[in-house]
Structure 1
Amino acid sequence: MLTMVLYPASKKIPPSGVCTCTSNQFDLETPKMETLSFPRYNVAEIVVHIRNKILTGADGKNLSKNDLSPNPKPEVLHMIYMRALQIVYGIRLEHFYMKSSVDKMQQLNTAHQEAIMKLERLDSVPVEEQAEFKQLSDDIQELQQSLNQEFRQKTIVLQEGNSQKKSDISEKTKRLNELKLSVVSLKEVQESLKTKIVDSPEKLKNYKEKMKDTVQKLKNSRSLNLEDKIESDESELKKLKAEENSFKRLMIVKKEKLATAQFRINKKHEDVKQYKRTVIEDCNKVQEKRGAVYERVTTINQEIQKIKFGIQQLKDAAEREKLKSQEIFLSLKAALEKYHEGIEKATEDCHTKIDEKTAELKKKMFRMST
């Protein structure tokens, strides 16, 4: 700061940096520090100023004297400080919470990585369960192969037995038809014999009775043989059907066991797929939140870069103004120094002139006295 002080001619000239003028009538000096005082405001005036200039809306209405005096509340001071920063630098509220957004983004990234690791663990069978899983799959394959092989063998045996029984039945029916034809031929022979034998009716009767007996015996013997064979064939067929039913029941039981094992495996696979779907949905949600947070962070970074650019421009302008003020100060200082040098020369000239005049006056006074 430059100060201007007026000194009388009898005083010495102070060093450079202080502007002085010679005068016999003025003596102005700078006031002392203890006489100065800063403006003091009471709490009510400070609260009114904060309500009108800094805080707005509900925050300003809720502000009271007790928030600032005698013990200021930290949250109130923090709110006033943030609002003052917003007013001075044009910073919005989300800029103060950028760190929390970055922390949240990091947490989401860690959760995403953990979900990926869980998916990898689910895709891979654990080491302690690999042997059991392999043994179970091998047992299922062996059981399925053995069941298919037994079923094929038993179906082949049953088909062969059925075809054999059908061929036997067809042969027996063929023989039965042949017997029926022979009976018909015998009846025809009998009719022809009836026409031929007329003279002896008693012989004819006896012959007829014999023929009837022989035919009846033949019929009975053949029918009995056929019935026995049919019964034996039917019993064998029943046995084969019983064996087929038992084999079918065994196949059903084994298929049920295989179905239960397959159901358990499918249930486990479905549970794993459902868990994968839920994890993938959570990962997608996390990815969406991450994208939103990333967009917010990018916008905040862009705005911060703009603010930094504005601050840098202000700093550059202030630096230029500072350089200009320094140049003005240096020019003023040089002018003052030149002015002081001129004043020193003028005072020296005045002193020499005064000395000369006093010497002349002394000489004149000396002459007058002599």
Structure 2
Amino acid sequence: MTENTFPVYTADMIVSFYRTEVLVGQEAKHFTKSDFTPVPKPEAIRTLYMRVLHLLYRCRPEYHSMVPILENIQYPTYHEGATAIISVYTRMRQFLPMCFVYDFSLNDLLAPKKQKTTTILSAIMNFLQFRKQRMDIMLEKQAKFRADMDKLQAYTRGNLEAEKKIEMLTTIPPEQQAEADELAAALSELQATTMHEYQEVNAENDSIAEWKTKIAEKTQKLAQVKVDVSSLKEDIGRLKSQIVESPEELKSQMEKMRENVKNIKNSIEETDERVVEMQNMVQGETHCEAENQQMYNLLQDLESSMNNAKQRQEKYQELMAQYEKKQKELKNVFIEEGQLKRARDKKLDKECKQNIRRQKKREMKEQHVQDVFRQCNQMHQKREEMADKIQEITGEMQQLKAKIKSLRDVCNEETAIAQALFDTMYTSMDELHKRIDMHIMEAS
């Protein structure tokens, strides 16, 4: 007890702690500093120990006074006073090593001393404070574990709902499967036709561009010819005013001019025909553009549906990312749960081993107590047998004493008779010797 691993508290701190944490009701009110200083009161100290055992092991104070019902115990009322003390002593001997107190004796209950009692109460107070701290930590861990379990359940529910939504988004109902197949087939056909139409439109655009270039060239040539004709007319008018032409030259020139005009008219007709053809082609082109516009509208609808499908795909990817994130969180929660379970299993294993050790120690103590009680019972039986033998021997002794007394009386009577006979014989022998001496003297 000289080297303690716990602090030794003052009397005021011990009184305030045990009044608030251990004792209840009237016991807390009546427990004062004078109960263990300067001389501890055994009744108050035993009550305090009983309350500590009740707090730790749920062993109520009245249980200590119960005498075990054994067949060989005679007069159990004689054992009630010592039973409570022995019970408290054995349980305190089992409990105090956990408080690092190893020299608890029966004298600490029957006649406690101040220093020893203060040290024991300080050790118990230190153990109770440590127990309260560990219980608070365990309660926090249990609350955290319950919160983690609630989060885990919420995450699992969220994952199940997300899986259901993903399944609903990815699966097509049976009643819409045929329509979806038709739409997919129509979409593929529409894409094929649109590709063919695009190719045709591109070819038509190329041909239209070529015809436009040709028409532009023809119109440019026609304008050049008109310019040339007008310049020629001006030259003709100017030459007419200056030169008097011969009729033959004029005729040849007129013929040439007519031929040129015919050629120009033919070229104009050809260009008109070409223009008509081009107008027809432009009308066909406008019709193709209207069809292309319809196809474009259909493609826009298709693009909107594709955008919706893309949005659904993006939403599906987001849900998959959330699902993976939730899976990772769930895995982390499972890892934490496994760590907590392992820690709890280790602690339970340790507690189980400690309980097994305590149970073994308790069984050994109980076995020792039962052996002691059995030995006591055997001693009682032997004492009763010895008492019976002593009674028998005392009876025999009394009988022997009576016999000895009677024999002594008979012996005294016989010794008196023998003494009387001896005296008579002695006197007769004396007389006989005297007579013999007288005869001898007479004979001489």
Q: Give the aligned partner of residue 128 of structure 1.
A: 175
Name the CA shift for 1:258/1:167 in 2 (closer, same or farther; >3 Å). closer
Name the CA shift for 1:350/1:108 in 2 (closer, same or farther; >3 Å). farther
- The whole-number CA distance in structure 2 between the counterparts of 1:316 and 1:146 is 91
Name the CA shift for 1:117/1:247 in 2 (closer, same or farther; >3 Å). same
Q: 2:269 aligns with which of 219, 228, 236?
A: 228
Task: Report the alpha carbon displacement of residue 225 of structure 1 after superposing the two structures with TM.
Answer: 1.4
Superposed CA offset, 1:175-196 (max 9, x none): xx9xxxxxxxxxxxxxxxxxxx
Indicate conservation of the 8 Å contact 2:162/2:319, yes or no.
no
Task: Report the alpha carbon displacement of residue 253 of structure 1 after superposing the two structures with TM.
Answer: 3.6
Q: Give the aligned partner of residue 93 of structure 1.
A: 139
Amino acid at match of 2:394: C
Q: Give the aligned partner of residue 45 of structure 1.
A: none
Q: Does 1:357 align with 2:401?
A: yes
1:47-196 equivalences under 5 Å are 92-93=138-139, 100=146, 104=150, 105=152, 108-109=155-156, 111-156=158-203, 159=206
Amino acid at match of 1:257: L
The unaligned stretches of length 5 or more in structure 2 are 1-64, 85-127, 225-242, 414-444
Which moves more between the two structures, 228-237 or 97-106?
A: 97-106
Structure 1 vs Structure 2 CA RMSD: 4.8
Task: Report the alpha carbon displacement of residue 111 of structure 1 after superposing the two structures with TM.
Answer: 4.9
Name the CA shift for 1:331/1:307 in 2 (closer, same or farther; >3 Å). same
- The whole-number CA distance in structure 1 between the counterparts of 2:212 and 2:155 is 77
Indicate conservation of the 8 Å contact 1:147/1:254, yes or no.
yes
Amino acid at match of 2:276: S
Indicate conservation of the 8 Å contact 2:148/2:333, yes or no.
no
Q: 2:357 aligns with which of 303, 313, 327?
A: 313
- The whole-number CA distance in structure 2 between the counterparts of 1:290 and 1:122 is 29
TM-score relative to the length of structure 2? 0.49
- The whole-number CA distance in structure 1 between the counterparts of 2:147 and 2:318 is 28
1:215-364 equivalences under 5 Å are 215-278=256-319, 280-281=321-322, 284-285=325-326, 287=330, 288-361=332-405
- The whole-number CA distance in structure 1 between the counterparts of 2:134 and 2:380 is 40
Q: Does 1:214 align with 2:260?
A: no
Instruction: Give the structure with the larger helix fraction.
Output: 2
Amino acid at match of 1:241: V
Higher relative contact order, structure no. (Cα contacts within 8 Å, ≥ 6 residues apart): 1
- The whole-number CA distance in structure 2 between the counterparts of 1:205 and 1:320 is 163
The unaligned stretches of length 5 or more in structure 1 are 4-14, 20-28, 39-82, 178-200
Task: Report the alpha carbon displacement of residue 262 of structure 1 after superposing the two structures with TM.
Answer: 2.4
Task: Report the alpha carbon displacement of residue 237 of structure 1 after superposing the two structures with TM.
Answer: 2.2
Q: Give the aligned partner of residue 80 of structure 1.
A: none
- The whole-number CA distance in structure 1 between the counterparts of 2:380 and 2:366 is 20
Task: Report the alpha carbon displacement of residue 160 of structure 1 after superposing the two structures with TM.
Answer: 5.6
| Fraction of identical pairs, as percent | 14
Indicate conservation of the 8 Å contact 1:102/1:297, yes or no.
no
Amino acid at match of 1:128: E
Indicate conservation of the 8 Å contact 1:101/1:293, yes or no.
no
Amino acid at match of 2:371: E
Task: Report the alpha carbon displacement of residue 214 of structure 1 after superposing the two structures with TM.
Answer: 0.8
- The whole-number CA distance in structure 2 between the counterparts of 1:354 and 1:264 is 129
